Structure 1
Amino acid sequence: MAELLQTTLCYLERDGCYLMLHRIKKKKDVNHDKWIGVGGKFEPGEDAPACALREVREETGLTMLAPLYRGIVDFYCDPWPAERMHLYTCTEFTGTLTDCREGVLEWVPKEQVTSLPIWEGDRLFLDLLARNAPFFHLELTYDGDTLVRAVLDGRPLL
């Protein structure tokens, strides 16, 4: 099996809201017009915590003080490379929110996030975060924008 692309995704929390990124600024973006957390690809030599800290700082201007490692999400969707995403949440951070070159940042009440244009599989892990689930491994397989398979900790969900 080919090596997985390693990425991070972070949901910063404040006053019952998640900091969401509306991806509208980049052309040829698999996430175009979707709302997602902040994060990105590992740089050479980085591990997940270092990548998460760097990506949040680069995309938001904020520095996470106590990120919580919540789970691993593996994505499969031809023709894109397979991706292993390391998922974090964080309620403690410092700094001043800045503009993001990849989209528009907005604090969105947690209960409204799933009504935004998000990936179908994101609803699954956002529910796990909302229920404060223990560390999890979620595998998501897409055909285009359609979620066709989901496996949580080895158990098929669909």
Structure 2
Amino acid sequence: MDRSPMTTLCYIENKDSYLMMHRVKKENDINRDKWVGIGGHFEEGESPEECLLREAMEETGLKLTSYRLRGIVTFSTDKYPTEYMFLYTADKFEGELTDCREGVLEWLPKKEVYNLPVWEGDKIFFKLLEENHPFFSLKLQYIGEKLTEAVLDGEKIIK
């Protein structure tokens, strides 16, 4: 079966930090060498919440006990099929952090995420999260790794 175009992406918060994953372990990884949140593709029949909770447990060993859907991000690139990411933040969890087979997990201050090697569009939604923006729809269009268009709630913010 082909992978679902639907994914979850979550930034787990602890005080002033996000749990970030440095994607250095998988070959042929669209996110290779970048810092991202946790998450992944829906499995057949999963709801967004079921995917979020499964991916959080698989990638971090943590059971999320408080989380919030913040927006939907349409991630479009010339190299891969379009992904529709359900973007969450989580502020409560149980368990101990485990090693991840996809990357290295690290708690990093929220203000430092802008300086990491991240997708350019991630900086847009970091700002929206920081501002506690109401639920949003963000479309990010890339050619290679260059952000060529960003559309927030139907309005172009980068042309």
Counterpart of 1:52? 52
Counterpart of 1:27? 27
Counterpart of 2:140? 140
> RMSD of the TM alignment (CA)?
0.7
Question: In the alignment, residue 95 of structure 2 is paired with which amino acid?
Answer: G
| Whole-angstrom distance in 2 between the partners of 1:64 and 1:135 | 20
After TM superposition, what 4+ stretches of structure 1 lie above 3 angstroms from structure 2?
none
| Whole-angstrom distance in 2 between the partners of 1:111 and 1:82 | 29
Gaps of at least 5 residues in structure 2 are: none
| Whole-angstrom distance in 2 between the partners of 1:31 and 1:85 | 14
Cα offset for 1:19?
Answer: 0.1
| Partner SS for 2:66 | coil
Counterpart of 1:120? 120
| Whole-angstrom distance in 1 between the partners of 2:126 and 2:15 | 17
Counterpart of 1:10? 10
| Whole-angstrom distance in 1 between the partners of 2:101 and 2:33 | 14
Is the deviation greater in 73-82 or in 20-29?
73-82
Q: Size of the alignment, in residue pairs?
A: 155
Question: In the alignment, residue 72 of structure 1 is paired with which amino acid?
Answer: I
Question: In the alignment, residue 140 of structure 2 is paired with which amino acid?
Answer: L
Q: Is the 8 A contact 2:79 2:144 kept in 1?
A: no
Counterpart of 1:111? 111
Cα offset for 1:79?
Answer: 2.5
Cα offset for 1:47?
Answer: 1.1
| Partner SS for 1:49 | helix
| Whole-angstrom distance in 2 between the partners of 1:76 and 1:28 | 18
Q: TM-score, normalised by structure 1?
A: 0.97
Gaps of at least 5 residues in structure 1 are: none
Deviation string for 1:58-110 (max 9, x for gaps)? 00000101110000000110220010000000111000000000010000000
| Whole-angstrom distance in 2 between the partners of 1:67 and 1:109 | 19
Q: Percent identity?
A: 55
| Whole-angstrom distance in 2 between the partners of 1:66 and 1:110 | 19
Q: TM-score, normalised by structure 2?
A: 0.96
